[in-house]
């Protein structure tokens, strides 16, 4: 990439030794040559920044220390250097070249609790991550790492103080879930003898049916789908995702987790994985959905990933649930749809749950798609 000035970059004291392998890794991840070139041009600035932060060797630096050293500014070169630093951190973590630190006491407790949730309660990965985040915040609030007695002297006032501190930015339903997770964690600790039994977690009341489910009218859903520009790979992908939600009422996480093997073309069914329940949802593969999915698959870049929907921008890989939210926001704005607090693509899902299958999505012919 820089045959004449190659030595200028590889001789950098901190990052020079890994730049060649980093370029190969970025290329394998789907980064275009221009993006790789811009990152390497910022390598001298990043090397000087790391040395000014006291980093002398990448192998002796932990992931948290390296990430804390990546200062982000609005100017062009520091901005690209920050992107290079993040790519470098991902590369080092994937190849096990980052120094590891022993887990803190709170991280040990969270790890044991997550193992309990997975093995004994059978929770899905997304639910376990949600439990881990709230429990981690709770232990941080209590300054667990600095408590010599652990939680044996935990008082109900401290639990109420955490709920009160967490509550203001949350709605009642979300705060109720936080209280339920905290209650489960305290019962787990009480069974292990680490907290005194008895302290309960108060949560706000929520009555079934008190909130009316908001759903878009079908004409508005059609306007949203027609607004998607299907001349690009992103448009084809977003149209297929939104059509799946409108047709079957799928959750955002279910759409993002779809795999190529989940579509049985000859049987004309889709087996939608549902981590919250454990059993897949089997729905008929309609002609309109099959056409949209095939159109996307024929135009997306070649890849070794088995997931159905992939990122459009580098690095290549499966999308997350946030990509579905972003797709809805982009095309809803283009369609000129103005509706406050409808919950993103879930308002399309809610409509699908309150209707029968429309002529827009009903299968018509038995055209094969294999």
Q: 218-352 maps to which CATH number? A: 1.10.443.10
Q: What is the pLDDT of residues 305-342, one digit of tens each?
A: 899 999 988 788 899 989 999 999 999 889 888 655 55
User: Does the pTM exceed 0.95?
Assistant: no
Q: What is the pLDDT of residues 187-239, one digit of tens each?
A: 999 998 888 876 677 777 777 766 665 677 788 888 999 999 999 999 999 99
pLDDT value at position 18?
Answer: 92
Q: Compute the mean pLDDT over every residue in the chain, rounded to the nearest whole number.
A: 85
pLDDT value at position 102?
Answer: 81
User: Where in the chain are the domains?
Assistant: 6-94, 105-191, 218-352
Q: What is the pLDDT of residues 159-193, one digit of tens each?
A: 889 988 988 888 888 888 999 999 999 999 999 88
pLDDT value at position 205?
Answer: 78
pLDDT value at position 288?
Answer: 94
Return the closest-CA partner of residue 262 out of 282, 244, 291. 282
Q: What is the pLDDT of residues 80-107, one digit of tens each?
A: 888 898 899 899 988 888 877 788 899 9
């Amino acid at each position: 990439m820089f045959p004449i000035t190659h030595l200028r970059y590889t001789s950098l004291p901190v990052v020079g030794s890994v730049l060649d392998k980093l370029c190969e890794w970025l290329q394998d991840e789907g980064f275009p040559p221009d993006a790789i070139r811009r990152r390497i041009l910022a390598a001298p600035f990043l090397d000087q920044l790391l040395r000014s932060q006291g980093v002398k060797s990448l192998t002796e630096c932990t992931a948290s220390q390296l990430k804390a050293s990546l200062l982000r500014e609005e100017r062009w070169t520091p901005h690209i250097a920050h992107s290079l630093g993040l790519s470098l951190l991902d590369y080092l973590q994937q190849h096990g070249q980052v120094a590891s630190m022993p887990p803190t006491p709170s991280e040990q407790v969270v790890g044991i609790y997550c193992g309990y949730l997975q093995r004994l309660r059978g929770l899905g990965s997304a639910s376990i991550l949600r439990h881990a985040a709230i429990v981690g915040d709770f232990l941080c609030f209590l300054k667990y790492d600095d408590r010599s007695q652990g939680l044996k002297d935990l008082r109900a006032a401290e639990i109420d103080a955490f709920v009160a501190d967490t509550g203001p930015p949350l709605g009642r339903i979300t705060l109720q879930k936080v209280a339920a997770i905290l209650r489960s964690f305290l019962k787990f600790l009480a069974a292990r003898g680490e907290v005194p039994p008895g302290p309960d977690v108060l949560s706000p009341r929520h009555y079934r049916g008190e909130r009316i489910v908001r759903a878009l009218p079908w004409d508005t859903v059609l306007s949203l789908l027609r607004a998607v520009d299907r001349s690009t790979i992103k448009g084809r992908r977003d149209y297929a995702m939104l059509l799946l939600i409108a047709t079957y009422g799928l959750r955002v996480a279910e759409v993002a987790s779809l795999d190529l093997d989940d579509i049985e073309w000859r049987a004309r069914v889709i087996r939608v994985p549902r981590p919250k329940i454990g059993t897949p949802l089997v729905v008929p593969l309609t002609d309109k959905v099959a056409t949209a999915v095939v159109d996307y698959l024929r135009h997306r870049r070649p890849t070794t990933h088995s997931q159905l929907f992939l990122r459009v921008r580098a690095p290549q890989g499966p999308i997350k649930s946030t990509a579905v939210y972003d797709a809805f926001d982009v095309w809803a704005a283009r369609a000129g749809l103005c509706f406050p607090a409808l919950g993103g693509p879930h308002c399309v899902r809610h409509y699908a749950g309150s209707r029968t299958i429309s002529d827009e999505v009903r299968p018509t012919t038995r055209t094969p798609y294999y």
